[in-house]
Amino acid sequence: MEKIPVLDLKKQIEPIRSEIDAAIKKVIDNANFILGKEVSEFEDDVVAYCRVKAAVGVCNGTDAIKLALVALGIKAGDGVICPAFTYFATAGAIAAMGAIPVFADIDPLTYNISLASIEKALKNSKVGIKAIIPVHLYGQCADMDGISNIAKKNNLKVIEDNAQAFGAEYKGEKSGSIGDCGTVSLFPGKNLGAFGDAGMVLTNDQEVESKLKILRNQGNKDKYYHLVLGYNNRLDTLQAAILKVKLKYLDGWNKKRQANADYYNRNFKSLGLKIPFVPEGNMHIYHQYTLRVDGTSAKLMDHLNSKGIDARVYYPVPLHLQECFKYLGYKPGDFPESEKASLEVLSIPVYPDLTQEQLDYIVNSVKEYFKK
Ligand SMILES: Cc1ncc(COP(=O)(O)O)c(C=O)c1O
């Protein structure tokens, strides 16, 4: 069996290559590379897809969070709650804007931010907290009803970090459409990926939309008239043209991921590991299919890697223990569920183009490990 990568983009692109080539050619023919019409066309498509009032194309998912923070009025020195178990960029974006990441622990079943831990952070924080950034980790939404209630009671803004869950649903609503803003990463490896960096901010507030549009474009209200200190954070026309083609295929790809996940679930049920838990009301789009092994997943990972299967740990070090966040003063033991998860999780390939033969090979390799 040939190696099974974590994702096979060449296979994904092949069947839609001519459509993408035509879209790229059109952009080159028009030579309108900055905020060309494909950007607003893609934004309109995302508005319809996410059933949201506005979608603002930006350059990546990290800057999407930064712009959302600024557009929602979060200032330097403000505290922003986010989970300790997420990709660096969630907290990195908060810190880059001069705000203070205030970590919370996760729910051990869903790996998403825990409501009890948010309440604890609100009670104990020495800085004034102004916002919460729940992360929809691995492709399913955090407990948005609970988070919205806490936010309302404490007058906090909510930014959904929807980098990994674009297309997922929470109680019938699209992920990213529930909070004050939803941010999206369209990095090539995401379920909807560009041919480079790209991102998006979703919002139902038209005032926030116009702030985002000014902020992403150097603070320009009109060309050379700078209203605020903005950034160069625009979405490329070329990327928008590619994404516009790919968006049409996203639901089909996500359905295949769900079918692959179902197949794994059926086969792994009786083994000594935990399969993903999906609370009622959540539609999971399996950006990752993440197993959990009591104690440590390291040996299972080594076994699968030795069989040519690219299994990985997302993420091996929780953010409160990262060198770069030492200045925040956290210590081991502060977020036990995040620390435990970082030792026990393991994601295996679940991408839509996996063949039945590859799926069976992965299933048999996992079973083989547990038979030993
Ligand atoms: C949870 C999360 N937040 C933010 C980001 C940042 O997105 P980007 O890489 O597009 O800047 C990512 C990307 O991996 C992510 O997984």
pLDDT digits (tens, 9 = 90+) for 76-86: 999 999 999 99
Of 28, 27, 33, 34, residue with least CA distance to 223: 34
0.75 exceeded by pTM: yes
User: What is the b/e burial string over 120-156, where b = at least 16 CB atoms within 10 angstroms of the residue's CB?
Assistant: ebbeeeeeebbbbbbbbbbbbbbbbebbbebbeeeeb
Ligand 1 pocket, residues with Cβ under 6 angstroms: 60-62, 86-87, 89-90, 135, 161, 163-164, 185, 187, 197, 199
- pLDDT tens column, 83-128: 999 999 999 999 999 999 999 999 999 999 999 999 999 999 999 9
Give yes or no for a cis peptide into 315 (omega within 30° of 0): yes
Instruction: Give CA–CA dist 86/109, Å, rounded.
Output: 15
Token couple for 238: 């070329």
Hey, what's the torsion of the CAs at 115, 117, 123, 126, to 10 degrees?
-130
- pLDDT mean over 3-30: 97
- Å from CA of 1 to ligand 1 middle: 32
Selection from 115, 170, 171 nearest residue 140 by Cα: 170
Identify the burial level of 55 via C-beta atoms within 10 angstroms of its C-beta, where 0-12 means exposed, 13-18 middle and 19 or more buried: buried
Give ∠ CA 227-231-232 in degrees, rounded to 5: 120
The Å distance, Cα 89 to ligand 1 centre, comes to 6
* DSSP for residue 288: S
Candidates 200, 178, 241; CA nearest to 63 is 200
In whole angstroms, how large is the CA radius of gyration of the chain?
A: 21
pLDDT tens-digit readout, 306-355: 999 999 999 999 999 999 999 999 999 999 999 999 999 999 999 999 99
Name residues whose C-beta falls within 8 Å of residue 302's C-beta, 6 or more positions apart in sequence.
none
Q: What is the pLDDT of residue 270?
A: 87
The whole-number average pLDDT for the span 48-60 is: 98
Residue 203 pLDDT > 90, yes or no?
A: yes
Mutate to test the pocket of ligand 1, among 187, 236, 319, 338 (most ligand atoms within 8 A of CB): 187
For residue 83, list its beta bridge partners. Answer: 104
Residue 340's pLDDT is what? 98
- Which amino acid does the sequence have at 340? K
28 pLDDT above the threshold of 90: yes
Instruction: Identify residue 190 by its one-letter amino acid code.
Output: K
How high is the mean pLDDT of the chain? Answer: 97
What domains lie within the chain, and their CATH numbers?
Answer: 9-104+111-244 (3.40.640.10), 250-371 (3.90.1150.10)
